Every structure is written in structure tokens, then in C-alpha cells.
Amino acid sequence: MSKSVSKPIKQSEVITQAYFTFLNKHIADVINGDAPHFMELNQIAAAMFVSHAHLTATIQQTMGHHPCHFYDGKIIDAAKKMLAETDKPVAEIANILTYDPSNFSKFFKKITGQTPGDFRGKIK
């Protein structure tokens, strides 16, 4: 009879998984209008019952980047999805994502290297 030995789950893996689960739900809540704005990283850490420093150190250790890197990436992914799948104006998408339209365009370009309008034009 063979025994199955399960590897213990590290706390850092639990925190990392919880962070990504939280981000997915939170971003969906903002898009659906169930949350008024994007939370700051310290607010996310508090909601997860960990310190900001611990969350940052854990995500950096397990994933190799600051938590904001993934947060921004998920926001950009949501924006890209709306740009690709809807005909909503860029300004409306910015508002849905709780950004001022000009700040949204700057944020989008900083992360992707192109404006939201250029992105939409290339995929249509």
C-alpha cells in the first residue's frame, strides 16, 4: 500500500493566491459598479489581514515583482478586454475603471506602449 505524501502549503503561497483572488474580485466589482474605486495597496493588505510590508515582500518573493505590477496588469487586461469586445468610447471605459480619461490614456500607454485608441485600432 503506497502512501501519498502531500507537500505542506507555504504561507507565502496562501497569501499570493489570496492576493490574486482578491484582485480578480475587486477589479470585477469596480467594473460592475459594486466598488466605487480601486483600493490602495495598503487597503488591500488590510482587507487580507496582513501588513502592507508583508504583502509586498511576499508577492515580490513569490512572483518576482511588486504587487502593483500585477494590480496594474490586471486593470490593463480589463481595459483591453473592454476595448476589444465593446464599442464603448475610451472615455467611458476610463470612467468605468474610475480614471480621468487623460490619466487613463497616460496609464495605458505607460504600461502597453500604445494609447487605448491605437490598441483598439490594431485589433479591429
pLDDT mean values, one per 10 residues, the chain (124 residues): 67 96 98 96 97 97 97 97 96 96 96 96 88
**CA 74 vs CA 14, 54, 68, 95: distances in Å:** 19, 21, 10, 16
Angle formed at CA 31 by CA 27 and CA 32, multiple of 5 degrees: 115
pLDDT given at position 88 = 96
Residues with Cβ within 8 Å of residue 59, at least 6 apart in sequence: 15, 16, 19, 65, 66, 67, 70
pLDDT given at position 19 = 98
pLDDT given at position 1 = 53
Distance CA(41)–CA(70), nearest Å, equals 11
Distance CA(41)–CA(31), nearest Å, equals 18
Query: Cα 50 vs. chain centroid, distance in angstroms?
Result: 18
pLDDT given at position 5 = 62
pTM tops 0.85, yes or no: yes
